[in-house]
């Protein structure tokens, strides 16, 4: 495969394909395992992820890349094959989460800034040797009373751009993920408020990417969709989500960016699929629109698996179904 950043980025958003986010940190995967009554041991985490990466049909036809966690990119399958090699054997690209998490931001009560720039160059060099050809860094922007603030948006956008520049220096395509969260507490957090904050955030991020000399052709944007907050008194319908998200992205994301791969952020599996498909129906669009889902690709498989080896085939079927539905949505061909 070509090692050019532009070619890797194009392959990540190939027609009808998207990204599997399997980069849950140890804390997050424990929460997911708790929900099915499975203890989060290193072996269980390996078995679960190996099962996903061995779901051949899904991996070969619908999954262009997989985002891994530090532990996972170093793990081997039961038969000794590195998990990253399983992904490559399916024609998919291994990627790696490189941020060190969103930490409380000094002087900004209730807001967070994502850390992890120290030593990042050396870590990227090691991950490249381990097979990673793209990376992910997630910033979180919270909507609440009086937030977000300009200081928080600016600091997160700057860190994203510094990360992206370091990735490209080391032959790795950065996924730039500024997530405006949908689980804020305020009732007035409707889709229009989400639009306003997302537009502000994306414009700031692209300013910073320009200032840090990031090659837009060699990156992927991973944004939230424009949805109402979970606790908002007014919820947006699917057509409204699709229309507002496409409008917001068109006004903020340069056409040089090859693709936009959404996070699911707490939407139900079907909503995440439907929204993506409706957006692609609004084309032609200047960039590919696809998925980079964690929960919306894995929730059904996790339930079906329940930690039992005898459920592996059923869990792989559940994962394959969601991957196929999202693959259809990535070209606007999904129907209920
Ligand atoms: P969700 O799709 O579950 O939001 O996860 C995607 C992701 O990678 C968040 O950083």
> Which pLDDT score is estimated for 184?
83
Q: Is 213 left (phi over 0), alpha (psi -120 to 50) or beta?
A: left
What is the H or E stretch that residue 220 is in? Answer: strand 220-221
Ligand 1 site: residues with CB under 6 angstroms?
A: 21, 138, 177, 263-265, 293-296
Q: What is the chain's length?
A: 336
The pTM (predicted TM-score) of the whole model is 0.98
Nearest CA to ligand 1 atom 8: 21
What are the residues whose beta carbons fall under 8 Å from the beta carbon of 324, sequence distance 6 or more? 58, 61, 62
Q: Which atom of ligand 1 is nearest to the CA of 265?
A: 4
CA of 175 to the centre of ligand 1 (A): 12
Q: Can you read off the two tokens belonging to residue 110?
A: 């209730």
Q: Which residues are tagged catalytic?
A: 177, 222
Angle between helices 295-305 and 312-329 (to 10 degrees): 160
Vertex 16: Cα angle to 196 and 330 (nearest 5): 25
User: 250 CA to middle of ligand 1, Å?
Assistant: 22
Report the separation in Å between the CA atom of 203 and the middle of ligand 1, taken as the mean of its atom positions: 21
Angle at 34 between CA 93 and CA 130, to 5 degrees: 25
Tell me which of 96, 261, 293, 297 to substitute to probe ligand 1's pocket, judged by most ligand atoms within 8 Å of the beta carbon.
293
Asked whether 297 and 322 are in contact (CB, 8 A), the reply is yes
Q: Is 287 helix (H, G, I), strand (E, B) or coil?
A: coil
Calpha distance 85→104 (Å, rounded): 36
Name the nearest CA neighbour of 91 among 20, 11, 21, 22. 11
> Which atom of ligand 1 is the closest one to the Cα of 21?
8
Mean pLDDT by 10 residues, the chain (336 residues): 96 98 97 98 98 98 99 98 98 98 98 98 98 98 97 99 99 98 92 98 99 99 98 96 98 98 98 98 97 98 98 98 98 96
Burial of 114 (0-12, 13-18, 19+ CB in 10 A): buried
| Pocket probe mutation, ligand 1, options 160, 180, 264, 269, max atoms within 8 Å of Cβ | 264
Q: How far is CA 167 from CA 8, 95, 267, in A?
A: 13, 12, 29
Distance 18 CA to ligand 1 centre (A): 13
Phi and psi angles of residue 205, each rounded to the nearest 5 degrees, phi first? -60, -45
Separation of CA 263 and ligand 1 centre (Å) = 5
Distance in Å from the first CA to the final CA of the chain: 36
Q: What CA–CA distance (Å, rounded) separates 286 from 330?
A: 14
C-alpha span between 212 and 55 (Å, rounded): 39
CA nearest 40: which of 310, 313, 307? 307
CA 165, CA 205: separation in Å to the nearest integer? 13
Spatial distance between the Cα atoms of 114 and 70, rounded to a whole number of angstroms: 17
């Amino acid at each position: 495969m070509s090692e050019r950043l532009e070619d890797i980025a194009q392959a990540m958003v190939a027609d009808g394909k998207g990204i599997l986010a399997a980069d849950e940190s140890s804390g997050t995967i424990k929460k997911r395992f708790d929900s099915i009554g499975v203890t989060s041991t290193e072996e269980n985490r390996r078995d679960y992820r190996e099962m996903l990466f061995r779901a051949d049909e899904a991996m070969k036809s619908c999954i262009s890349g997989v985002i891994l966690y530090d532990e996972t990119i170093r793990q081997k399958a039961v038969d000794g094959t590195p998990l990253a090699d399983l992904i490559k054997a399916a024609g998919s690209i291994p990627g790696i989460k490189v941020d060190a998490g969103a930490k409380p931001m000094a002087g900004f009560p209730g807001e967070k800034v994502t850390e992890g720039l120290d030593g990042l160059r050396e870590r990227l060099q090691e991950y490249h040797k381990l097979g990673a050809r793209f990376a992910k860094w997630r910033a979180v922007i919270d909507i609440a009373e009086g937030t977000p603030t300009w200081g928080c948006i600016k600091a997160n956008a700057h860190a994203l751009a510094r990360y992206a520049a370091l990735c490209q220096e080391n032959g790795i395509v950065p996924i730039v993920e500024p997530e405006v969260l949908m689980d804020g507490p305020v009732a007035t957090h409707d889709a229009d408020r989400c639009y306003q904050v997302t537009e502000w955030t994306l414009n700031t991020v692209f300013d910073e990417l320009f200032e840090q000399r990031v090659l837009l052709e060699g990156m992927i944007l991973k944004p939230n969709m424009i949805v109402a907050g979970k606790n908002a008194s007014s919820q947006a319908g699917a057509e409204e989500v699709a229309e507002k998200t496409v409008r917001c992205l068109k006004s903020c994301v340069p056409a040089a960016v090859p693709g936009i791969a959404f996070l699911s952020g707490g939407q139900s599996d079907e909503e995440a699929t439907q929204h993506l498909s409706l957006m692609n129906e609004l084309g032609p669009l200047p960039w590919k629109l696809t998925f980079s889902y964690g929960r919306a690709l894995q929730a059904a498989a996790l339930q079906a698996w329940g930690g039992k080896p005898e459920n592996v085939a059923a869990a792989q079927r559940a994962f394959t179904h969601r991957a196929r539905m999202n693959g259809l949505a990535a070209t606007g061909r999904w129907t209920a």
